[in-house]
């Protein structure tokens, strides 16, 4: 996995340290990595909802997420989501 240095809000770092101190979590770096992944996933889902609704195009979606169109195509495919937003919107049950 790629390693980078990122600035972190103090309260997030304190939370990570508290988790480690109380034995809830062990590795601060892992906790922060999970937070970043969650943030990315949340942003992707937010934008997918706008894409699904036809408010934004696939290219705009990719740009907003900071991915290339091809990487976004792969990310959607990996999550079992269509890359076209024309046609019947899948129901909440996923049918």
Residue ranges binding other proteins (CB under 8 A): 50, 54-63, 68-71, 73-74, 77, 82-90
Q: Closer CB to other proteins, residue 23 or residue 94?
A: 94
Which one, 37 or 68, has the nearer CB to other proteins? 68
The least distance separating other proteins from the CB of residue 76, rounded to whole angstroms, comes to 9
Q: What is the largest CA-CA distance in the chain?
A: 51
CB nearer to other proteins: give 16 or 62.
Answer: 62
Q: ∠57-61-55 over CA atoms, to 5°?
A: 45
CA angle at 21 for the pair 15 and 27, rounded to the nearest 5°: 75
Residue with tokens 């790629």: 2
């Amino acid at each position: 996995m790629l390693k980078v240095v990122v600035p972190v809000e103090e309260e997030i770092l304190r939370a990570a340290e508290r988790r480690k101190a109380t034995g809830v979590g062990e590795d601060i770096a892992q906790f922060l990595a999970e937070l970043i992944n969650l943030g990315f996933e949340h942003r992707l889902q937010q934008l997918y909802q706008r894409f699904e609704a036809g408010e934004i195009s696939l290219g705009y979606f990719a740009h907003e997420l900071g991915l290339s169109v091809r990487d976004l195509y792969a990310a959607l495919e990996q999550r079992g989501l269509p890359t076209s937003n024309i046609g019947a919107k899948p129901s909440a049950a996923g049918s």
